[in-house]
């Protein structure tokens, strides 16, 4: 019997334990975190009722490497030891591409930030993620 596509997605999208999520590479966490963060920002910006071109320009202010690097530095004192360790793992991950429009150090910290978001998402810590997102939009609004 074939599974429905929804069931396949639902089974793939199960909440992981912190141990299971830690077994993923930091770049895998960043891959998911990048998508989750971008979706959050785009959804947040819809409230501004701007043309799509303007929405895109506004989104870039939040999602570019320099902005994410600045954000993770601003949030540093608010992060738990576990969260700091995840950021550090992401920051120190060996990447096989070089940033096109960013300084290497900003790119590395942005990867750490995205790793954190991916970790929080995959472990089902939406409340914590929303707490951080609220701080981000209040700071950069």
Number of Cβ atoms within 10 Å of the Cβ of 70: 17
Distances (CA, A) of 59 to 16, 42, 71, 141: 29, 6, 14, 11
pLDDT in tens, 128-139: 999 999 999 988
Q: Tell me, what's the pLDDT at 130?
A: 95
Q: Tell me, what's the pLDDT at 1?
A: 43
For the chain, the 3-state helix, strand and coil shares in percent, each to the nearest 5, are 75, 0, 25
pLDDT in tens, 63-111: 999 999 999 999 999 999 999 999 999 999 987 777 788 888 999 999 9
What pTM does this model have?
0.88
Of the candidates 34, 49, 70, 77, the residue annotated as catalytic is 34
Alpha carbons 9 and 35: distance in angstroms, whole number:
16
Q: How many CA atoms lie within 13 A of 56 on its CB side?
A: 3
Number of Cβ atoms within 10 Å of the Cβ of 58: 16
Does 77 participate in catalysis according to the annotation? no
Long-range contacts of 38-45 (CB under 8 A, 24+ apart): 38/63, 40/133, 44/133, 44/137
Joined together, the tokens standing for residue 37 give: 């963060």
Give Cα 69 distance to the centre of its chain: 11
CB within 8 A of 117, min separation 6: which ones?
Answer: 32, 33, 34, 36, 37, 129, 132
Q: Tell me, what's the pLDDT at 110?
A: 96
Q: Tell me, what's the pLDDT at 101?
A: 81
């Amino acid at each position: 019997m074939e599974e429905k596509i929804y069931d396949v997605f639902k089974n793939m999208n199960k909440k992981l334990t912190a141990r299971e999520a830690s077994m993923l590479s930091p770049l895998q966490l960043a891959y998911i975190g990048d998508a989750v963060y971008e979706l959050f920002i785009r959804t947040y910006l819809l409230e501004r009722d701007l043309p799509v071109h303007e929405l895109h320009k506004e989104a870039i202010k939040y999602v570019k490497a320099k902005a994410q690097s600045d954000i993770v530095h601003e949030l540093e004192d608010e992060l738990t030891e576990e969260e700091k360790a995840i950021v550090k793992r992401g920051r120190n991950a060996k990447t096989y591409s070089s940033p096109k429009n960013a300084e290497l150090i900003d790119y590395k910290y942005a990867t750490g930030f995205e790793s954190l978001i991916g970790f929080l998402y995959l472990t089902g810590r939406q409340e914590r993620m929303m707490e951080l997102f609220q701080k981000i939009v209040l700071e950069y609004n």
